[in-house]
Amino acid sequence: MLDITRIRAETPGCAQVTHFNNAGASLQPRPVLDTVLRHLESEALTGGYEAADAAADRLAGVYDTLARLVGADPGEIAVTENATRAWDTAFYGIDLRPGDRVLTSAGEYGSNAIALLHRARERGIKVEVLPDDEHGQVSVAALAATLGPDVRLIAVNHVPTHDGLVNPVAEIGRLARAAGALYLVDAVQSVGQLDVNVDEIGCDLLSATGRKFLRGPRGIGFLYVRRAVLDRIAPTFLDDRSAEWTGPESYELREDARRFESYERSAALQLGLGAAAEYAMAIGLDVIEHRVTALAAHLRAALAEVPGVTVRDRGTRRSGIVTFTREGHDAAGIVASLARQKINVRLSEQTYRYDEGATPPPRVRASVHYYNTEEEISRLIGAL
Ligand SMILES: Cc1ncc(COP(=O)(O)O)c(C=O)c1O
């Protein structure tokens, strides 16, 4: 059972705003905020290196925590500056050759899509977009039909940014494994709201961020690299964290996924990311997933009752991301008007560059988290 009163009391932002922009960045709970602030203070008062030395055990513990969060081994986790860097680190590290096929989803995140195009131009890889099924999710049937030995990589997202659906990542994983293709999952919008497990998904690589449903700080993310594929991903940059300088003409790569990290990073943010993952696991990711899914369903049902509102989410399985339009009102105007009432939602207006004709109209995105309440949903509906 969730103690919503306690959870909200531990979330200072809940007293300030009605926050339905958890797909942008969630409100941090007090233990996360305190962890970050305490470390910054310790840096200011005792020195940055000395503060890191004093926190060495806790910094090392962040890897165990993140590994537990996604069902990995601590040596399979690299902490990165954000999720895009995590995804890029994995993607650009794959030795893709001209003619290699890379399969992706129509609703792929813009930065990932640009990186795919970049590699297509530079290396002559073939990027192929998997069609959506009739529910808007990545079509597993189309994937099965197109998979072949020339498919080197399948790169899809678990939960897209602009739609309430959840992609069938485990089914995709089974097909990827059978075909021997590398499998990279963008789990930026799912980690922290769904019970994500890398073995259940069957992915080789997975990227995640701190600030969204995990309720961590901004400017930090992580990458999971399955140990079996570690040597198939070449680090793009090396420094003396990722490798050891062993002689005038030699160096040795680190044994674990930390070979993908940079030496200089924010210790405060690393600790904050760890605290956020601990906080989520103390509540239970299964409990969180259940509550988020139920609140989002409640919000969709309430929205459907508002005159002129159309809920735009697709998918048979849905997440905490809810998108809608309202006849006679532009989405940007709704967002601005709600902001004046201290209700945070977001404008969602991604163009589907792969198929511009399929681009939906600008929508309002209201993304719920477990700390939101039915009363807050009523407030949003009343304001609409
Ligand atoms: C699906 C998805 N992937 C990747 C990202 C990028 O994450 P980050 O900003 O941490 O690099 C986002 C951010 O909105 C996202 O929604």
Where helices occur in 97-163 by DSSP H, the ranges are 110-123, 140-146
User: What confidence score (pLDDT) does residue 56 get?
Assistant: 98
Give the Å distance between the CA of 186 and the centre of ligand 1: 8
Instruction: Note whether 222 and 81 are within 8 A (CB).
Output: no
Q: What is the SS3 assignment for 182?
A: strand
Residues 6+ away with beta carbon under 8 Å from 77: 63, 66, 67, 222, 223, 224, 257, 258
Cα(328) to centroid(ligand 1), Å: 31
The number of the ligand 1 atom at minimal distance from the alpha carbon of 159 is 1
According to the model, what pLDDT value does residue 210 have?
A: 98
Q: What is the pTM of this model?
A: 0.97
d(CA 204, CA 219): 24
Q: Three-class SS of residue 321?
A: strand
Averaged pLDDT, groups of 10, the chain, 384 residues long: 95 98 98 98 98 98 98 98 98 97 95 97 96 96 97 98 96 98 98 98 98 98 98 96 96 98 97 98 98 98 97 96 97 98 95 80 96 98 97
Cβ-based neighbours of 170, under 8 Å, separated by 6 or more: 200, 201, 202
Give the residue, out of 81, 91, 105, 109, with the most ligand 1 atoms within 8 A of its beta carbon, to mutate for a pocket test.
109
What is the predicted pLDDT for the residue at 294?
Answer: 98
DSSP tag of 136: S
Q: Which residue has the tokens 């794959």?
A: 94
**CB contact at 8 A, 106 and 132:** yes
244 contact partners, CB below 8 Å, separation of at least 6: 251, 252, 254
